[in-house]
Structure 1
Amino acid sequence: MANCLLLLGALDKTREPNRDGPINQGFKKTVAFLRFSQGRSTRTSFLILDAQSVKNTDTAENSGYDGGKKIKGIKRTLAVDNQGLPQGIHVTTGDVSDRDAASSLLMLHADQFDLVQRIMVDGGYTGDKFASLVGNSIGADVIIAKQSDLKHGHVTPQRWVIERSFGWLEKCRRLWKNCERKLHTSTMMITLAFLRFMLKRH
């Protein structure tokens, strides 16, 4: 299975990603099937959103410095449901702010987020501008995780879910750092890693 996924990834690496291509369609159908098998709607009404900055290797062409996390590389932004299943993936250079990266993700996937009513984020996404953009783009409300919990090192159950999703990616050695030359290739490798994990686990 892993070899098949790597082959599919190699086929898609040579061009910009096609959101209607076989890998993305298979990815979406797998997520929908897993949600349905758990007795839930195939599309979520609740998202948890966060970003992870990752160092580049020498092979990467796209890079930016995340001043807050002191990391030069790329930024992976994820939107997951309350089970940690990925609903949206977006990769930018590290210098893009968390809010701007999240805004781009939501606009790119707006057509599949039309049922989303609430989005949970941490304190890095505060501000009326981001809340307004979320409301205007997908009609959802923004929920900020309790600062008191974050300040004392406690992670709310919902926030822990997305931390676990990032942890799933780190089980793939290729994703410990960003080895890909292009941002769209990084996105594809994350998609393949999640797809492999979901097929293997379920």
Structure 2
Amino acid sequence: MAIKVHEADYQDRAGAILLLRDLPNVFPRMQHVWADQGYTGKLGAEISKHLGWTLEIVKHPWSGRQGTWAPKDAPPRMVEVPAGFVVLKRRWVVERTFAWIGKSRRMSKDYEALPETSENLVYEVMIRLMVKRLAKIVT
């Protein structure tokens, strides 16, 4: 699969469809995509139209509920926002994977000049991780 690189001023939302457009050939069984709130907007319709997948935007449980309209005589419906860190649904999958990759010394910083080298190193780290886990299962 070819690496997609574009200018830094190109919005991630706009680049997402360019990135995902070739994935049905690589992952034919893929049907659902999770994204954070930065990808709200037309992306869901684009993904559904071009790829036939569904897009789920992962939001905080209180998103959009802090300042809601209420009738004149009714008390405003306020949602309590917890203090501190809140785990978002499915967000841990991405963060955990980045942590696994970051444990490899070569992947702890972005030292590589070519994106192809970084991509191959990600494959190497994940292959090593899976072989290590499979070896535990076999023995």
What TM bracket, shorter-length normalisation? Answer: 0.5 to 0.7
Q: Higher relative CO (CA 8 A, sep ≥ 6), structure 1 or 2?
A: 1
Q: CA deviation at 1:94?
A: 8.2
Larger strand proportion of the pair: 1
Note the C-alpha offset of 1:169: 0.6
Structure 1 outlier segments of 4+, above 6 Å: none
Q: CA deviation at 1:163?
A: 1.0
**Hey, what does 2:35 align to over in structure 1?**
121
| Equivalent residue, structure 1, for 2:122 | 190
Q: CA offsets per residue over residues 12-42 of structure 1, 9 Å max, x none?
A: xxxxxxx4xxxxxxxxxxxxxxxxxxxxxxx
Residue by residue over 1:71-123, the C-alpha shift from the partner in whole angstroms, topping out at 9 and shown as x without a partner, is xxxxxxxxxxxxxxxxxx96646825333443233123221333322211110
1:97 aligns with 2:11: yes
Identical residues among aligned pairs (%): 30
The 3-state SS of whatever aligns with 1:148 is coil
Structure 2 distance, partners of 1:162, 1:188, is: 19
2:57 maps to: 144
SS of equivalent residue, structure 1 residue 147: coil
Q: In 1, Cα distance between the equivalents of 2:7 and 2:86?
A: 26
TM-score between both structures, scaled by the size of structure 1: 0.48
Bigger CA radius of gyration? 2
Contact 1:116–1:138 (CA<8 Å) still a contact in 2?
A: no
Secondary structure in 1 aligned to 2:21? helix
- Segments of structure 1 that go 5 or more residues without pairing to the other structure are 1-18, 20-88
Paired positions, count: 114
Q: CA RMSD in A?
A: 2.7
Instruction: Describe the superposition over 1:45-81 as per-residue Cα deviations: whole angstroms up to 9, x where unpaired.
Output: xxxxxxxxxxxxxxxxxxxxxxxxxxxxxxxxxxxxx
User: 1:142 is matched by which residue type in structure 2?
Assistant: L
2:44 aligned partner: 131
Q: Which amino acid aligns with 2:13?
A: R
Gaps of 5+ in 2: 64-80, 135-139
Contact 1:117 1:140 in 2 (8 A): yes
1:123–1:147 contact (8 Å) kept in structure 2? no
Contact 1:120 1:143 in 2 (8 A): yes
TM-score, normalized by length of structure 2? 0.67
> Which secondary structure does the structure 1 equivalent of 2:90 belong to?
helix
Q: Match of 2:93, SS?
A: helix
